[in-house]
Structure 1
Amino acid sequence: MAILPILTAPDPRLKTISTPVDKVDDNLRALMDDMVETMYDAPGIGLAAIQVGVAKRILVIDLAPEGEAKDPQYFVNPEIIWTSEDYASWNEGCLSVPEQYADVERPAECKLRFLDYHGQAREIHATGLLATCLQHEMDHLDGILFIDHLSRLKRDMMLRKIKRMVRA
């Protein structure tokens, strides 16, 4: 497995709309394994393939609390098929927007259809942090960052901070 470089805003590749995966094979599983290793190394709880420069509809998530056994989840061609009318606000961060956090409001629950690590079709009903994380990571697949949900003023301030960090 390999640690892959993570793209950071304002890299234009992060605005790319990712394309569907044709099939889950050994090469794709190797990419997903590398993504999980990269996510753990960062450290983070979710990572979309576009964040490592691969414009495919793939994301990985692990919400296991620190100190507990790792529990990576793999989502290929994920599709939200239902969201609740209730919303929840979470303080979000992103490996592609380092050291920046903001409250983002999203549907509190969602139902997702996807292919798993072995290419099997699955559906899950997600609530709480998992629902938020899935929606956050799926935004990446459509070229959306969590800061795009903020006011222009807040977004521009965060981008300026990131640019200063990169220069330093």
Structure 2
Amino acid sequence: MKISQHIISLVFYSFFLIVNTCAKDDEEAYDENVMEVTYGKNDHVTKEMAIENWELFFKQSQKLISITETNIASIQVKIETANESEKTELQKIYNTSRSKLLKIKTARLKRNSEFSTEIKNYNEYIQPKNEKFKKQFKQNIISINTTLENYIERNK
């Protein structure tokens, strides 16, 4: 029974490594082909520009969320094959990362809903609010992924 568990864990681990590699490759190709636009306080941003900018961010943020979910799944697979002392550390990283990602996803959906409402009465305060949110989102998701990827790389 233990041998079959190890084989299943190995298969899942291999699968998640492949998915993780593909996600990273996709992210690199995506970054090269799409130019993100950020606006400063003095830039005049029309309603259409704000909508286009938000939609682009929303798509990019979903890719970042998918990469994070893959990294979290990689940690989950590692938990199954880890010794007892590593399991505790891995479980803590897994739980913390999932919790942080859930908060980020919730905040993203909330901001998307707010933006949908705000855009009906568009004014110059909406775009700076979006820029602030985008910056915070990226900082948070990069922080999670850095922790996960450092641990994954360190324990290959």
Normalising to structure 2: TM-score of the pair?
Answer: 0.28
Question: Which protein has the bigger helix share?
Answer: 2
Question: Which protein has the bigger strand share?
Answer: 1
Greater RCO, CA 8 A, separation 6+: 2
Normalising to structure 1: TM-score of the pair?
Answer: 0.27
Greater Cα radius of gyration, structure 1 or 2: 2
